[in-house]
Amino acid sequence: MNKLSFLVTVLLGISIQLSAQLKQDSLNVDTAVTLLLLPPSGLYNYTSVSLNNPFNEQLRPGATNRFLVDFDYYANSNSVPTSIAYAMLFKNEVKNEWKDRAAKRMQKGLKFEDFMNTGLTYKHYFKKWDGTLMVDYHHRQMRIIRGSKDAFELLFYGNARFEDKTADLSNITFVNHIYNQVAVAIEKKVIYPKYQMEYGVRGAFLQAINDQEIRTGNTTIYTAPDGEYIDLKYDLTFNTGREGATNFLQVNGAGASGDFHLAVLNNDKWRIAADLFDVGYMHFRKTPVNYTGAKSIHFQGIVLPNLLNFSAQTFDTLKIEDTLRSYLPGKSTNQYGVFMPFTAQVVFSKPLLSNRLVLNVGLMYRYLPQYYVYGFAKINYFIKPDMVFSASAGAGGYSLFNLGAEFSKSWKYFDFTVGSSNLIGLMAPTHFPGASVYLRLGTSF
Partner 1 sequence: MHSTNWKLVSLALLLTFMAACKKNRQTSWNTDVLVPIATASLSIQNLVKDSSVHPQADSSLILDFNSTLYEFNLADKIINIPDTSIGQKYTLSALALPNIGINYKMSLGAIANNMLLSPDPGTHFLGLYILAQNGNTTSIPALNNFPFPGFQFDASAYLDSAILSQGVTKVWAVNGLPIPITNITCELRNTNDNSLIATKYIDSVAARDSVYFELPLAGIKIKNNLTFGVTSMSTPGSDTSMVLVDTTNFIALKVFVTDLKASEAWARFPAQNVVDLTEEVTQEIGDRKFTYVDARSGKIHIFITSSVKESLYLEYTLKGAYDKFGHPVKVFTNVPAATIANPTVTIDSIFDISGTAISLTGKDGSKFNTYTQNVIAHIDSSGIVRHITNQDSINIRYVIEDVAPNYIKGYAGRDTLSTIDSSAFSFLDIFKSGSIDLEKVDMKFTVENGIGVDGQVKINSLTAISPNNGSRTLSGSVVGQTFTVNRATDFPLTPATSYFDVNSNNSNIKDLIGILPNKLLYDVEVKTNVNGNTGQYRDFAYLESGMKIGLSAQIPLSFIAHHLLLKDTIDFDLSNTNTDINGISDGIINVITQNKYPIDANLTMIIYDDVWAPVDTLVINQSIPGADLNNNCRAVGPKRTKIPVYVDELRMENVKRGKHAVVVADFNSSTNNIMCNGQYLKIYADYKLDITFTAQFNYKVNAKF
Nearer to partner 1, 130 or 163 (CB): 163
Among 91, 104, 128, 194, binds partner 1 (CB under 8 A): 91
Residue 385: cis peptide before it, omega within 30 degrees of 0: no
190 makes contact with partner 1 (CB under 8 A): no
20 makes contact with partner 1 (CB under 8 A): yes
| Axis crossing angle, helix 96-105 with helix 82-90, rounded to the nearest 10 | 130
Q: How far is the CB of 302 from partner 1 (least distance, A)?
A: 5
227 makes contact with partner 1 (CB under 8 A): yes
Q: What element of type H or E holds 21?
A: helix 2-27
99 makes contact with partner 1 (CB under 8 A): yes
Which residues inside 127-156 make contact with partner 1, applying CB under 8 A?
A: 155-156
Q: How far is the CB of 227 from partner 1 (least distance, A)?
A: 4
Q: How far is the CB of 180 from partner 1 (least distance, A)?
A: 19
CB atoms within 10 A of CB 343: 21
Binding segment toward partner 1, per CB under 8 A, in 67-75, 180-188, 223-231, 330-338: 223-231
Among 65, 124, 130, 158, binds partner 1 (CB under 8 A): 158
Binding segment toward partner 1, per CB under 8 A, in 17-25, 267-275, 392-400, 401-409: 17-25
- For the chain, give the number of residues: 445
CB atoms within 10 A of CB 390: 21
313 makes contact with partner 1 (CB under 8 A): no
Q: How far is the CB of 210 from partner 1 (least distance, A)?
A: 11
Terminal-residue alpha carbon distance, the chain: 34
Nearest CA among 336, 203, 184 for reference residue 257: 203
**CA-CA-CA-CA torsion sign (102, 104, 110, 115):** negative
Contact criterion met (CB below 8 Å) for 143 and 176: yes
16 makes contact with partner 1 (CB under 8 A): yes
- Cβ neighbours for 145, distance < 8 A, ≥ 6 positions apart: 110, 111, 112, 113, 173, 174, 175
Nearer to partner 1, 20 or 357 (CB): 20
- Cβ neighbours for 313, distance < 8 A, ≥ 6 positions apart: none
15 makes contact with partner 1 (CB under 8 A): yes
Nearer to partner 1, 13 or 62 (CB): 13
Q: How far is the CB of 198 from partner 1 (least distance, A)?
A: 36
DSSP 49-72: SSS--TTS-PPPTT--EEEEEEEE
Alpha carbon dihedral 289, 295, 297, 303, in 10-degree steps, equals: 40
228 makes contact with partner 1 (CB under 8 A): yes
Report the distance separating Cα 122 and Cα 347, nearest Å: 25
Among 67, 137, 157, 372, binds partner 1 (CB under 8 A): 157
126 makes contact with partner 1 (CB under 8 A): no
Binding segment toward partner 1, per CB under 8 A, in 8-16, 44-52, 120-128, 271-279: 8-16
Half-sphere exposure of 38 (CA within 13 A, CB side): 15
Report the distance separating Cα 304 and Cα 281, nearest Å: 32
Among 12, 191, 352, 357, binds partner 1 (CB under 8 A): 12
Q: How far is the CB of 369 from partner 1 (least distance, A)?
A: 21
Among 35, 116, 230, 400, binds partner 1 (CB under 8 A): 230
Residue type, 417: T
Nearer to partner 1, 293 or 337 (CB): 293
Beta strands in 192-318 (DSSP E): 196-216, 220-223, 230-240, 253-266, 270-284, 289-299
339 makes contact with partner 1 (CB under 8 A): no
Q: How far is the CB of 19 from partner 1 (least distance, A)?
A: 8
Nearer to partner 1, 17 or 218 (CB): 17
Contact criterion met (CB below 8 Å) for 68 and 442: yes
Binding residues (CB under 8 A) for partner 1: these are 1-2, 4-6, 8-9, 12-13, 15-16, 19-20, 23, 87-96, 99, 155-163, 223, 226-230, 299-306, 308-309, 318-320
